[in-house]
């Protein structure tokens, strides 16, 4: 049997719409295979789902259904700019549509499944562009999507961000092989949409990979090309690529502007031990998971325990089994190794030049994923800002998927449309491909269940907030509620403001010593000094209620028990079906509206929405009205309809001077960074449209050669 190495000579491949429909059908079928319960209305739980994503998405959905466009979330802690934090995706069109028209748990699942389908189709398209057969391209999509995505189902950024990498590569490769300017120009709005999704780390990684790939392709021209571009032409092509990529960033300025503003005021404004970019790395010894999954993944093993005990040559920073996961199936690995050994034996390189470049990028990705390059990289712009070294492994998975698809064609050339093999041989090869595809799907399915923090439950847990007992008790409070509870953010699903906070990118006030919550998990402490310190923190931050997992000493905590029992929502979120909650009201707590001395002010009316706080109060003397809501650029205040200077009180809260008597005070959020970003996005999009309309099929009129 003669096996021919795969060559990238299929830049002119055009698959019919029926073929594309078939691919979309396969991609949807794969989501059913891996996530059938989600199609039936199940809910994901575990990992960051209820501590991070569902609290954000619930607030987004509630705001949209009230007819509000949320820029600020007042429920998490003392509030934060939800548009700037970005991972809520308030500026991402698919997110707005899903959470406006679907229930929260259905919208969350729909977004995930949609991007699984998008990623699979995109990876198939990239494989076809590299000359891989249709069936080989299906294997490519399977290896990339279901090798890297499923274990990270609790991390929305991985699913949404990972879906855009293949489409960006598809557009760039289409431009490189056809020299069509419009193909390249489409990269700008696609990348802009990528950034609007708010998952910037994978966008940063994708940017780096594209720059390296394009530079390599421009420098290493295919030997098959009949012409050779002059050095100046290479620089022109590179200039167009960089210009289009920058335009993509500018189109997303409406998202990037507020985020950059928050970044300068966040806990990540400087490198420190709690913000080590090497977090989530893959220790070199843990890379053996690629070829020995049975050691690390089988039930009964504990990768987290092994990763916690830092081994030899491991980067000195914490990691976990999900961030450090890198696996693409044993069958694809054997295919890749077998093809490589066969090529060496024949002294022929079995992969095309573009795929070889991706192999190099994949090796760089896995090197960075070990964390050690951050000893130097953390001092470079961008690298030191993002946490999650293991995420660079997505480039390795991408390269491995392409290699596996191409290797499949090497060993089974009868799968290719131009094959002259007989019907029997084609049938045998087709059965061989089906066996490899099925074994790989089965392998990746098992691993996705063993290496994960998220699980599916049949009940739509989020929707149970309507029958929540704790929510009903808190609704009866005569004053604005602020709750402290274990499980950061989760209690905000009840629709109440709550401490402590958990934010990937949050205002530094929540993380600075002396301002951040020092409320400890060991609630049962009987040390009067420790309790007094924590009670003082609760009073200073407007907390009115405490939700405890165990009884508190009411005298020490200055609190009164108002509810004991289970909760339809929170009992499921925290798996406490057999254990009660203890809800206390803080006795004589001043609450969220106080005077300059910290004393409680009576509030006749208090309205709190996404971008506005309105209250009516009647102080008896001239004073400063303080609202225990985070002071942040963009908040303006009016007193009886007249704008007044807003002040920062206690290093983080909003205050305004008023005279004695009855006043209506309104704070409203108008971030200039968002307005400036919106203007810049509009101008960038307008400029892109002008260039797109005037663009021709080639960067150089009269020069029709392709870059191979």
pLDDT of residue 302: 82
User: Which residue, of 566, 588, 610, is where some domain finishes?
Assistant: 588
Confidence of residue 14 (pLDDT cuts 50, 70, 90): low
pLDDT of residue 129: 93
Contact at 8 Å (CB) between 279 and 307?
A: no
pLDDT of residue 647: 93
Least confident interval from 74-83, 135-144, 500-509, 689-698: 689-698
Is residue 689 domain-resident? no
Query: Is residue 113 scored above 50 in pLDDT?
Result: yes
Residues 249 and 305 in one domain: yes
Q: What is the mean pLDDT of the chain?
A: 87
pLDDT of residue 606: 86
**374-431: pLDDT as tens digits:** 999 988 888 888 889 999 999 999 999 999 999 998 887 645 555 555 566 667 777 8
Query: Is residue 461 scored above 80 in pLDDT?
Result: yes
**291-343: pLDDT as tens digits:** 988 888 888 788 888 887 766 688 888 899 999 999 999 999 999 999 999 88
φ/ψ of residue 212, rounded to 5: -60, -45
Query: Is residue 707 scored above 60 in pLDDT?
Result: no
pLDDT of residue 697: 55
Residues of 411-423 as b/e, b for ≥16 C-beta within 10 angstroms? Answer: bbbbbbeeeeeee
97-121 average pLDDT score: 95
pLDDT of residue 11: 42
Query: Is residue 266 scored above 90 in pLDDT?
Result: no
* Angle between helix 231-251 and 253-263 (nearest 10): 80
Beta strands in 394-479 (DSSP E): 455-457
User: Which residue, of 588, 619, 653, is where some domain finishes?
Assistant: 588
Confidence of residue 206 (pLDDT cuts 50, 70, 90): very high
Contact at 8 Å (CB) between 330 and 290?
A: no
User: Which pairing describes strands 623-630 and 593-594: parallel, antiparallel, or unpaired?
Assistant: antiparallel
Is residue 525 domain-resident? yes
**564-612: pLDDT as tens digits:** 999 999 999 998 888 999 999 999 899 999 998 888 988 888 888 899 9
- 3-state DSSP assignment of residue 670: coil
Residues 580 and 662 in one domain: no
Contact at 8 Å (CB) between 312 and 408?
A: no
pLDDT of residue 6: 43
Residues 521 and 614 in one domain: no
14-30 average pLDDT score: 90
Query: Is residue 270 scored above 80 in pLDDT?
Result: no
616-627 average pLDDT score: 92
Confidence of residue 487 (pLDDT cuts 50, 70, 90): confident
Residues 191 and 227 in one domain: yes
Selected residue with higher pLDDT from 15 and 582: 582
Residues 242 and 290 in one domain: yes
670-696 average pLDDT score: 93
Count of domains observed in the chain: 3
Retrieve residue 645's tokens. 């200077």
74-102 average pLDDT score: 94
pLDDT of residue 4: 46
Hey, CA dihedral for 46, 51, 54, 57, is it positive or negative?
Answer: negative
Residues 301 and 450 in one domain: yes
pLDDT of residue 699: 43
CB-count burial class (<10 Å; 0-12, 13-18, 19+) for 129? buried
**226-239: pLDDT as tens digits:** 454 456 678 888 99
CA angle at 277 for the pair 108 and 190, rounded to the nearest 5°: 45
Query: Is residue 636 scored above 90 in pLDDT?
Result: yes
Measure Cα distances from 492 to 441, 487, 497, 591 in Å: 38, 10, 6, 17
Is residue 55 domain-resident? no
Residues 169 and 293 in one domain: yes
Instruction: List the one residue out of 49, 186, 60, 55 whose CA is nearest residue 491.
Output: 55
Which stretches within 41-155 are classed as H helix? 54-65, 82-85, 93-101, 104-129, 134-148
What percent of the chain is modeled with pLDDT above 90?
61
Q: What is the CATH number of the domain that holds 598?
A: 2.60.40
| Residue 442: partners with Cβ closer than 8 Å, 6 or more residues away | none
pLDDT of residue 696: 65
pLDDT of residue 607: 86
Is residue 529 domain-resident? yes
Instruction: List the one residue out of 203, 163, 188 whose CA is nearest residue 250.
Output: 188
Which of the listed ranges 189-198, 315-324, 515-524 does the model predict with the highest average pLDDT?
A: 189-198
Is residue 318 domain-resident? yes
Residues 395 and 480 in one domain: no
Query: Is residue 704 scored above 60 in pLDDT?
Result: no
The pTM score is 0.91
Query: Is residue 563 scored above 70 in pLDDT?
Result: yes
Beta strands in 422-504 (DSSP E): 455-457, 482-485, 497-499
Which stretches within 370-422 are classed as H helix? 374-377, 393-411
pLDDT of residue 706: 45
pLDDT of residue 417: 54
177-195 average pLDDT score: 94
Residues 531 and 433 in one domain: no
Is residue 6 domain-resident? no
Rounded Cα distance, 325 and 451, in Å: 8
Instruction: List the one residue out of 465, 447, 456, 444 whose CA is nearest residue 40.
Output: 456
pLDDT of residue 564: 95
Rounded Cα distance, 166 and 352, in Å: 18
**638-661: pLDDT as tens digits:** 999 999 999 999 889 999 999 999
Rounded Cα distance, 45 and 42, in Å: 10
Rounded Cα distance, 499 and 496, in Å: 10
Residues 318 and 427 in one domain: yes
Is residue 348 domain-resident? yes
- 3-state DSSP assignment of residue 340: helix
Residues 287 and 310 in one domain: yes
What percent of the chain is modeled with pLDDT above 70?
89
pLDDT of residue 702: 36
The DSSP result for 551-613, as a single string, is ---HHHHTEEEEEEE--TTHHHHTT-TTS-EEEEEETT---SEE-TTS-B--EEEEEE-SSEE
pLDDT of residue 505: 87
Contact at 8 Å (CB) between 633 and 671?
A: yes
pLDDT of residue 231: 63
Rounded Cα distance, 16 and 23, in Å: 11
Rounded Cα distance, 606 and 666, in Å: 10
| Residue 172: partners with Cβ closer than 8 Å, 6 or more residues away | 184, 187, 210, 213, 214, 241
| DSSP character at residue 648 | E
Rounded Cα distance, 19 and 362, in Å: 29
| Residue 22: partners with Cβ closer than 8 Å, 6 or more residues away | none
Is residue 285 domain-resident? yes
Q: How far is CA 102 from the centre of its chain?
A: 21
pLDDT of residue 13: 57
Which structural domain, as residue segments, surrounds residue 653?
594-672
Query: Is residue 15 scored above 60 in pLDDT?
Result: yes
| Residue 71: partners with Cβ closer than 8 Å, 6 or more residues away | 81, 82, 83, 90, 610, 611, 669, 671, 674
Confidence of residue 708 (pLDDT cuts 50, 70, 90): very low
Residues 510 and 439 in one domain: no
- 3-state DSSP assignment of residue 456: strand
CA atoms within 13 A on the CB side of 666: 12
């Amino acid at each position: 049997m003669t096996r021919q190495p795969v060559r990238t000579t299929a830049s002119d491949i055009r698959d019919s719409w029926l073929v594309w429909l078939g691919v979309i059908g396969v991609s949807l079928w794969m989501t059913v295979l891996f996530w059938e319960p989600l199609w039936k209305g199940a809910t994901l739980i575990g990992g960051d789902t209820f501590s991070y994503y569902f609290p954000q998405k619930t607030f987004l959905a509630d705001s949209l259904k009230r007819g509000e466009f949320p820029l600020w979330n007042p429920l998490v802690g003392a509030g934060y700019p939800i548009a700037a934090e970005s991972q809520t995706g308030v500026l991402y069109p698919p997110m707005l549509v899903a959470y406006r028209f679907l229930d929260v748990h259905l919208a969350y699942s729909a977004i995930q499944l949609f991007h699984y389908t998008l990623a699979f189709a995109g990876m198939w398209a990239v494989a076809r562009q590299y000359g891989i057969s249709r069936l080989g391209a299906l294997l490519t999509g399977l290896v990339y999507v279901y090798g890297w995505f499923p274990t990270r189902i609790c991390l929305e950024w991985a699913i949404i961000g990972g879906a855009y990498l293949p489409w960006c590569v598809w557009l760039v490769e289409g431009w490189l092989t056809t020299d069509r300017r419009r193909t390249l120009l489409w990269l700008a709005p696609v990348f802009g949409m990528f950034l609007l999704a708010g998952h910037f780390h994978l966008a940063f990684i994708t940017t780096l990979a594209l720059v390296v790939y394009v530079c390599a392709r421009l420098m290493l021209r295919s030997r098959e090309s009949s012409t050779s571009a002059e050095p100046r032409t290479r620089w022109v092509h590179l200039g167009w690529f960089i210009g289009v990529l920058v335009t993509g960033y500018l189109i997303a300025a409406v998202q990037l502007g507020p985020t950059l503003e928050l970044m300068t005021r966040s806990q990540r404004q400087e490198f420190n031990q709690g913000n080590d970019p090497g977090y989530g790395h893959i220790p070199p010894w843990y890379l053996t998971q690629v070829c020995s999954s049975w050691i690390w993944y089988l039930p009964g093993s504990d990768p987290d325990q092994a990763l916690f005990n830092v081994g030899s040559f491991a980067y000195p920073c914490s990691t976990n089994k999900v961030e450090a996961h890198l696996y693409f199936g044993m069958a694809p690995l054997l295919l890749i190794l077998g093809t490589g050994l066969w090529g060496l034996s024949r002294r022929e390189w079995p992969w095309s030049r573009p795929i070889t470049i991706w192999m190099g990028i994949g090796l760089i990705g896995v090197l960075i994923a070990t964390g050690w390059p951050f000893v130097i990289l953390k001092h470079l712009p961008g690298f030191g800002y993002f946490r999650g070294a293991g995420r660079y492994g997505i480039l390795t998975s991408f390269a491995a998927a392409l290699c596996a698809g191409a290797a499949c064609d090497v060993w089974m050339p009868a799968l290719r449309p131009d094959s002259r093999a007989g019907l029997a041989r084609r049938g045998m090869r087709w059965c061989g491909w089906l066996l490899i595809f099925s074994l790989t799907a089965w392998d990746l399915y098992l691993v996705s269940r063993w290496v994960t923090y998220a699980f599916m439950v049949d009940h739509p847990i989020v929707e149970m907030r309507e029958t929540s007992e704790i929510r009903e008790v808190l609704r009866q409070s005569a004053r604005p509620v602020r709750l402290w509870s274990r499980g950061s953010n989760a209690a905000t699903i009840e629709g109440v403001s709550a401490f402590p906070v958990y934010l990937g990118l949050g205002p530094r006030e929540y993380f600075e010593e002396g301002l951040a919550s020092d409320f400890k998990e060991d609630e049962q402490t009987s040390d009067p000094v420790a309790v007094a310190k924590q009670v003082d923190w609760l009073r200073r931050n407007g907390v009115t209620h405490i939700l405890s997992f165990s009884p508190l000493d009411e005298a020490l905590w200055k609190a009164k028990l108002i509810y004991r029992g289970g909760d339809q929502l929170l009992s499921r979120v925290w798996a406490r079906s057999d254990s009660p909650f203890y809800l206390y009201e803080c006795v004589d707590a001043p609450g969220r509206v106080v005077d300059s001395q910290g004393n409680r002010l009576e509030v006749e009316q208090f309205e709190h929405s996404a971008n506005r706080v309105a209250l009516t109060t009647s102080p008896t003397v001239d004073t400063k009205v303080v609202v225990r809501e985070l002071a942040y650029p963009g908040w303006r205040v009016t007193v009886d309809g007249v704008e007044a200077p807003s002040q920062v009180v206690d290093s983080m809260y909003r205050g305004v001077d008023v005279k004695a008597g009855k006043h209506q005070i309104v704070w409203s959020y108008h971030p200039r960074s968002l307005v400036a970003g919106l203007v810049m996005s509009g101008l960038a999009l307008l400029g892109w449209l002008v260039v797109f309309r005037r663009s021709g099929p080639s960067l150089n009129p009269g020069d029709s050669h392709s870059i191979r």
